């Protein structure tokens, strides 16, 4: 399992984390065309749309979306 920080826009608050069994290339193969289409056609996908697309393409993969992590301070 790996954790990736996913950035699809200029807005940092829209970044999300993906814990998954997928590799970077598998993720890019699905999300990059969506981001390109979004930019060219003035539509908006939300983070759930990206996750749904990954789950449809890779139904046996582990894919968990996190918007943020809990902070443990010592």
Does 13 have pLDDT greater than 90? no
Share of the chain above pLDDT 70, in %: 96
Query: What's the pLDDT score for residue 25?
Result: 97
Domain chopping of the chain, boundaries: 2-66
Query: What's the pLDDT score for residue 61?
Result: 98
Q: Return the SS3 of 4.
A: strand
Does 28 have pLDDT greater than 70? yes
Distance CA 7, CA 28 (A): 11
Query: What's the pLDDT score for residue 14?
Result: 80
Q: What is the DSSP string of 22-71?
A: S-HHHHHHHHHHHHHHHHHHT----HHHHHHHHHHH-TTS-EEEES----
Characterize the bridge pairing of strands 16-20 and 63-66. antiparallel
pTM: 0.86
- Which positions ≥6 away from 58 have C-beta within 8 Å? 22, 26
């Amino acid at each position: 399992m790996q954790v990736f920080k996913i950035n699809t826009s200029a807005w940092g608050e829209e970044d999300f984390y993906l814990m998954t069994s997928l590799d970077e290339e598998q993720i890019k193969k699905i999300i990059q065309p969506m981001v390109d289409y979004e930019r060219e056609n003035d539509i908006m996908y939300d983070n759930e749309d990206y996750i749904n697309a990954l789950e449809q393409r890779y139904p046996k993969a582990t894919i968990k979306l996190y918007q943020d992590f809990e902070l443990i301070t010592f």
